[in-house]
Structure formats: structure tokens, C-alpha cells
Amino acid sequence: MMKIKYTTIFIDRDGTIGGNGHFKSLHDFRLFPYTVNAIKRLKANGMQVFGLSNQTHIEDGKMNYYDFFNSLLSIGFDDAFICPHSENTNCNCRKPKQGLIEQAHAKYDFDNSQSIIIGDRYSSDMQLALDCKILGIHVSTGKSELNSPLNNKDITEGVIKVKNLEAAVDYIVA
């Protein structure tokens, strides 16, 4: 079996690179100790690494878009794709809708079959991965979604379950 050469990695913020899966302000948000090194490892292996985040608190004025964007770049992401809208706005960019991936395609040349979405939520991150035919890697560090139909299986078609971002990177670069 031929191993896929991954070129593009999208990584969720809350619960995936730090925090507990619930919103934390930029001041209160804490990265997991392995996050910066994990991003560096992906980039050292020739991959583009992008932040991918829903941030309702931008629309409601509790966070500035550019401050949030720059906070992601400052930890090593090459770029970030952020939905600033609340669920009620009915935009096309709030995960699991495909707008953020469409924005990334408009800016960068990559193939979904050579991409990965790493995140802690089945209802948004993994659903987006499945809908875009991108490999999803679910980390168990963020919000627990016990009622998700995907939660009861170790591997489903298109989704791999791992402990954390560090284990996801181990899988990708192995």
C-alpha cells in the first residue's frame, strides 16, 4: 500500500492546540506544552500548517479578529482561516460548512486528498473533514461529544482517533 504524501494540515484551536475545548480569551488561552514543537515538526516535513477556527466571540465584540489571527501566526501557523460569526448568522464559513476550506483553496494550491484536519469536535471539525473528503484526525483533548455517532469507533472511514496533537503529528510524519 502506497503512503499518502500529506502537504496541507489544518488544525483547530480550542481543545486541539490548547485550552479545554471551550472559548478562552487570548490572555487566558494556554497552549499544550507540545503544540509549538508539533507545528514545527509538520513544517520541517514540508507541510503547510494552517489554523482553522470558529470564533463566535469576534462577532460579539469580545475578541478582535486581527489579534486572534496574529496569535495563531505567532505560534507557527503559516496562515489561519477563521469564521468570526455566531451560529445564528448563517454564514458559509462556520465549521462544518466548507467556506474556510474554500477560502484556503482560493489562496493556496493543495489537494484535499493530501490534506488533514486535526480537531477535537466531531460535530464541526470531523464533519468538515468528511464533507471535504479530507482525512480527519480527532484528538481527545477538548470537548467531549459523547453522543456523536463517530465517538464509539476507533477508526471510521476518513477519521482517525488519537490522544492529542502530538500523537496526530507522530501519525502524520511516520
Query: 23: burial class by Cβ within 10 Å (0-12, 13-18, 19+)?
Result: middle
Please state, in angstroms and rounded to a whole number, the distance separating the CA atoms of residues 165 and 33: 10
Catalytic residues: 12, 14
Distances (CA, A) of 138 to 2, 16, 154: 23, 9, 10
- In the structure grid, which three cell numbers stand for residue 153, read together? 469507533
| Residue the block writes with cell 502530538 | 166
The DSSP secondary-structure symbol of 163 reads S
Cβ–Cβ < 8 Å for 120, 136: no
